[in-house]
Amino acid sequence: MTTHCEPKPGVREILISGGDVITMDPQRRIFSPGYVHIRGDRIAGVGPLDGSHTPPSGVAPGTAPGAEAIDARGMIVLPGLIDTHGHAGHGLTKSVGEHLGDDWVPLVEDIYYRRSTPDFWYAEAMLSGLERLKFGTTCGFSMLGSSPRCDDPVYAERHMAGHRRVGARNILGIGPPNPPWPKPFRRIAADGRVTADHDVDLTRAIAVTAEVVETYRADPAASRLLVQVAPSRVGQLPGLDLAATRHQHDQMRRIASAAGVMINGHAYGGDISYAHEHLGILGPDVMLAHCTGINRHEVQILAQTGAAVSHGPSTHSYQRARCPVMELVHAGALVTISTDGSGPDRTFDLFKEMRMAMIHQRAYFHDTSLLPPGQALAMVTIEAARGLGLDALIGSLEPGKKADVILVRADQPHMYPAVQPLQRAVYAASGQDVDTVVVDGEILMRGRRVLSIDEQEVLALAHREATAAFARAGIGDGIMAPPVMWGSASLR
C-alpha cells in the first residue's frame, strides 16, 4: 500500500495522472489508467485511478509554489530510459567518415585529440544531452571520446558544464586509451590558436583520470553529474605484456575503489577470460561494453563475477561479431541495451535499440518468442540502473525513488488501438514520440519543448564547433561524400 505524507512548505509537487503507467517495479505492475505523484525530487506515490479517473484521497498537488497537475491521458508513462554506454564527441562527428570501417576510429581520434577546443566538448555535451533528453533518456554514460581524452582535466570540465545546462543525469567516463604510449595531443584555444603540442604517457593519463574522478565523484542521490573510471579496454591491451597490462588495470582498480565508483570499458572475445584469469578486475562494479565474439566460458565468467554487459545492437562491433545476449541472460548475467553514442551512423534513440536487440536475437535463433518486450524495456530501465549501480535511485516508478519520468504520446496512428501499452511502447514508439521529461522532479521538457536550455543556441554552437574542427583536420569531400553513397559496395 502506498503511503502519502503531507507536503512540506515550498516543496514542488507534480501529479501525473490518466495515462498508462508502466512501473517496472519488482511486480512489473501496469496501471491503466494510473498516476505518479511527485514531491520534491522523489516519487511519493504510484497507483491506479478509479473509474472516474480520480486519484486516491490525499494524492493531489498541495499549495506549494510550482505545484502542477499533468494530464497524461493518451500517454504512456515510463521510468526515464538509461543509456549504459555512449561516447562524448560522437555528437559532432555524426555521419563523418562512416564508410571508412576500421579507419573511422583514427579519423575521429585525430579530431578529438588534436583538432578540438574545450568549447568543442562543451557544445557536444549540450547537443548530445539535448538529443538524449528529447528521446526520453534521463541518464546516460559518456566516455570522453572514442577513447578517453586524458591529457588535461579541462575537457572533462567543459563536458560536465554542457550537461549541467541540459539538466539530465550524465555519467562521465574517463581513463587511459589503448597503447602505444606516449600519445600525441594538441591544445587549441577557443580562437583556434594552437597553444601546445605535447606527448602524454600512461603516468599522465592515470593522473588526469584520478583528478577528474576525485573532482566529480558524488553521492548519486544528491548530484545529476557522476563519474566512472573508463579505460578504453578491459582485458589484454594491444602491444603490452602481462606486467604492463596488469599495471594499468591495477591503477584503474585503485582509483575506482578509492573513489567508490564503477569501471566501465570495452571488452571483446578473449578479454573476459584474460581479465578474469590474469587481472582479477571483474566484479559487480564493472560494466563491459560490446562483449562481441566471446565464448561460452566467458559467458559463465560474466555470470559468476557479476560484471554487467552493455550490448549495442546497432554498433559496428556487433556487425563484425555477435554478442551472445540470450546465452548471457540464461546464464544469469546482467545484460543492458545501449546506443554506444550517436556517431557515425546511429542516434541516441533507445526505443530503436530495443527493437534492434529483439530482432537480432529472434533472427539468430529463429524464435520470435525471445527477448519479449518487457525484458527489452527492463534492459533500458531497471536492469540498466542495476548495471550502473543506481537501481536504488532510478530505473522504476516506485515511492521513494528519484522522480525520473517520461511521457510517451500514444494517441497517434502508429500507436493505436489503445490496448497493450507495454507492447505499443516497445514495438511502436520512437524517441520522437516522447512528449514530457521529468528529472529529479524538475520538468525539463513539456510538449517536446525543452525548458532547460535554448535548442537553437545549442544547434548553432554545435555546428560552429564541428565545422571548425573539420577544417582544422583537413576533412575534404572524400570523407564528407563517400563514393558508395548511391550504390552498393562489392561483397568481400
**pTM for this entry:** 0.95
**What is the 3-state secondary structure of 294-332?**
CCHHHHHHHHHHCCEEEECCCCHHHHHCCCCHHHHHHHC
In angstroms, the Cα distances linking 436 to 11, 19, 168, 169 are 21, 12, 13, 16
Nearest CA-CA partner of 346 in 334, 337, 358: 337
pLDDT value, residue 245: 96
At residue 347's C-alpha, the angle toward residues 343 and 352, to 5°, is 140
pLDDT number for residue 63: 47
Mapping DSSP onto H, E and C, the string for 112-177 reads HHHCCCHHHHHHHHHHHHHHHHHCCEEEEEEEECCCCCCCCCHHHHHHHHHHHHHCCEEEEEECCC
Residues of the chain with pLDDT under 50: 1-9, 63
Q: Angle, nearest 10°, between helix axes 455-473 and 104-114?
A: 100
Q: Could you give the domains of the chain?
A: 13-79+401-450 (2.30.40.10), 81-387 (3.20.20.140)
Output the pLDDT for position 387: 98
Position 55 scores a pLDDT of 72
User: Mind listing the pLDDT tens digit for each residue in 261-287?
Assistant: 999 999 999 999 999 999 999 999 999
Instruction: Using alpha carbons, select from 292, 364, 303 the residue that is nearest to residue 329.
Output: 303
pLDDT at position 2 is 42
The per-residue pLDDT for 479 is 67
> How high is the pLDDT of residue 319?
86
Q: What phi-psi label fits residue 90: left (phi over 0), alpha (psi between -120 and 50 degrees) or beta?
A: alpha
Residue listed under C-alpha cell 535554448? 454
| C-alpha cell belonging to residue 95 | 555521419
Rounded CA separation 145/113 (Å):
8
The residue type found at 309 is V
